[in-house]
Amino acid sequence: MRYIFYMFSILVILSAIFSYQLMEKRRPEQDAAIIINNRIITTYEFNSLYDPQHAHVRDKTDFINSLIMKELLIQESQKKGIDKEEPFRRSIQNFYEQSLIKLLMDRTFSSLQITVTDGELKKYGELLNRNITITIFNYDDEDRAKNGIFRDSEQMTVSFEDLSDDIRYSIILLNEGEMSAPVKMEEKYITVRLDKTEKDMSQPSSQFDRELVRQTLTEWKKERAIDSWIAHLRENASIKILINGNE
């Protein structure tokens, strides 16, 4: 009698396990939008891929066909073991790293609180149609720029409009004889001394688009803030270079 009871208990347990497995297999199919071989794309997954707000951009049937084609090619690649090859792994790693950096930069850029003052806009307008005499000091790195140890210098007189954005925006709040803060340009740093300004009578007066200048100056300030942020990260990091950079 006890033997029959044990057998009955085992049958009940096996039946429960089988029923559970059967339900687990059926559940995804009940919520399936597309089944491609053993790959089940649920309704939720499909809807997240096919955004209804942009349904007018792509025909739904075309989207489904392209999704099926993509999945078939992925499955075939996996059959051939391409996903386990080193070049594929490196390409995935590179894509992951680039995407991560881009997301970080975008978030940092959008979080910056940058203001352009009325004084800056006023000074910008005053410098239009003027010849600017400046002296540009070149430095090998930021430390030398901060300490005033310049490699060489160059004085020039040009129209304010002909200056590069970096130089133009660096001098808009300077008085004659004053020096700008260090600005990174490509692989070097510069500071700019405003020597003299004078009216350019040979050129017609330029129109001053206040909002356009505000926008471009804001973007310039954000870029400089990003440069400072990256420099701060490097200054506070533990970095050891154990190879010769000239090898």
Residue 37 lies in a domain: no
Arithmetic mean of pLDDT, 167-181: 89
pTM equals 0.60
User: Is 99 part of a structural domain of the chain?
Assistant: no
Kindly tell me the number of DSSP H helices and DSSP E strands found in the chain.
8, 6
In a domain, 225, yes or no: yes
Number of domains in the chain: 2
DSSP at 195: E
Residue 244 lies in a domain: no
Within a domain: 64: no
Whether residues 122 and 228 fall in one domain: yes
pLDDT interval class at 13 (50, 70, 90): very low
192 lies in some domain: yes
In a domain, 60, yes or no: no
Longest CA–CA separation in the chain, Å = 117
User: Is 57 part of a structural domain of the chain?
Assistant: no
Q: What are phi and psi of 204, to 5 degrees?
A: -65, 150
- CATH number for the domain that contains residue 224: 3.10.50.40
pLDDT for position 6: 44
Say yes or no: 23 and 122 in one domain. no
Place 147 in a pLDDT band, splitting at 50, 70 and 90. confident
Burial of 121 (0-12, 13-18, 19+ CB in 10 A): middle
Domain of 196? Answer: 118-235
